[in-house]
Amino acid sequence: MSRVGKSIIKLPSKVEVSIDSANLVTVKGPKGSLTQQMNPGFSLSQEDGNLTVTRPGESKQDKALHGLYRSLINNMVIGVSEGHSVKQELVGVGYKVSNQGNILDFSLGHSHRIVLEVPSEIQVITETVKGQNPSITMSSTDKQLLGQIAAKIRSFRKPEPYKGKGIRFAGEQLRRKAGKSASK
C-alpha cells in the first residue's frame, strides 16, 4: 500500500468534508471551501475526526493516484482551516516590485516592466524595506494555485548561480559556482 496514501488525515473541529455521487470532494472550513474531482472507485471514510482514502484496486495507476488524492485532500483541509502562504525575495540591484490590489508590477532589469494579474483567491502583500531585499508574500486557501503563481513569478528572473541574483523563495539555499579564475 502507498505510504502516503495509507496515512490518515486529521480533521480540525470546524472542517466538514463531503463527497457526492460524481466523486466530487468538497471541503468547507472557516477560511472558505475547496473542491476536487476524484476518479471513480476511490472512496473516503470518516471516523472520529479522521479521514481515510481507499483505492479501488492494486493496479499501478490506482497506487499512484492513491497518494496523490490523499495529499490533495490533506492540502485542502489545511488550506480551509489555516491557509497556505509563500514568501519570495527579489535579489539584485534595482529589482523592485509593487502592487495595486492584485496587480503586481515588477522591475527586474529588463528593458520593460512586467505586469502580472494575480487571481482574486490570492492575497498579495509587497514589502520594500531599506537595507533588505524587496519581498512578496502571498496567501491563499488553495495550495495548487498558490504554487503555480509563485512558480510563474520565479520564472520572470530565475536565480543565477554566480551572483545569486533573481527571484527566490525565502530561506532558499542556492548552489553557488565559482567564477572564472585569472591565469598567468
* CA–CA separation, 72 and 77 (whole Å): 9
The three three-digit cell numbers of residue 158, written as one number: 530565475
Confidence band for 113, pLDDT divided at 50, 70 and 90:
very high
Domain at 84-169: CATH architecture: Alpha-Beta Complex (3.90)
All three cell numbers of 135, joined, read 519581498
Mean model confidence pLDDT for the chain:
91
Query: Averaged over 148-153, what is the pLDDT?
Result: 96
Q: pLDDT > 90: what percent of the chain?
A: 66
pLDDT for res 1: 47
Domain boundaries, the chain: 3-81, 84-169
One fold for both 3-81 and 84-169?
yes
The answer to whether the pTM exceeds 0.75 is yes
Q: What is the pLDDT of residue 184?
A: 64
Residue 2 binned pLDDT confidence (cut-offs 50, 70, 90): low
Class in CATH terms, 3-81: alpha beta
- Would you say the C-alpha torsion 144, 149, 150, 151 has a positive or negative sign? positive
Distances, alpha carbon 2 to alpha carbons 125, 158, 180, in Å: 38, 34, 48
